[in-house]
Structure 1
Amino acid sequence: MEFLLENPFILIALIAFISSFFKKKKEEKPVKQTPRSVQHEQRTQGEKTSADSALAETVKEEYRQQAEKARRIEEEYRQRKQQAEESMKALQNQRRAAERKASAITKTASNTNAGHPKEPSGAGNFELRKQSLVDGFIWSEILGPPRSKNPHRSLNRKQ
């Protein structure tokens, strides 16, 4: 007995023989049970066909719902696209009208300037704008006298 356990080749062969013996026993049992499993499969096939038909109907219904949803989305996309195109055309028309007005104004301005001699560069038209006033105050502070010549003392010092 010690000889069998000490020699690894004999030990491996013994394990293989025992495992194949148990495999043969397991294979014999399902063969005997196959007629029962065939009957059971025949019973379940009828159930499967009814389940398959119900599943097929639900799949078809889901497909129809998805197709309807896709059609609604396409229709909404077409409507939005049409609205965008219409608004784009309206904006283009407004731009063309503005360009026509601008060209008409420049033509009339060039016609009025052609009849009158040009004034010297320093005596142009004076237009009063808010931003130009702000810029003027800022430049007057920058270019004006230094603060040391015009100190702003607090009220406490004056008293």
Structure 2
Amino acid sequence: MGDIIDFFLGNPFLIIILIGIVSSMLGRKKKLQENEAPNGPPKKKWQEVMRELQGDMQGNQQQGPAPAPVRKVGQQAPQAAEIIDETKSEANKRIAELRRLQQKYDQERLYQKAKADSITISAISDNRSSVYHKGPSFGKKQLIDGIIMSEVLGPPRAKRSLQRSRR
């Protein structure tokens, strides 16, 4: 017997395996005791729960919807008619106001557009205006004369390099 204990103490890996086996056995016993405990509610499988829910739903559909509570129509009818008339008149007032505002907006927009157009036309037609500035116009002869004058007035050809500079 002493040889067996010495063998296990000499191999720590076997000790870890034995501890794992013993703890798993104790854990299984504990789980079995919890499942059999009468204190908790009985556990059902999800299929059973779904069947019960479907049965409840089918029973509710067969019974039909619950009847609406009965109200006294005679007393509420005149009040309802007054409320409807008030809401219709308020809605009509709001619609009229919106239409009036829309017309006012359209008139203002047309006025602003006409004003902008008149400013643009008067500025373009005025030759002294800074907006309208006629650019320089060159003909073929003026361009040729400009190139010749740049050669004459520029530095001499001998001082300019013949190759273009590369960057």
Please, what TM-score do these two structures have when normalized by structure 1? Answer: 0.40
More helix by share: 1
TM-score (norm 2): 0.39
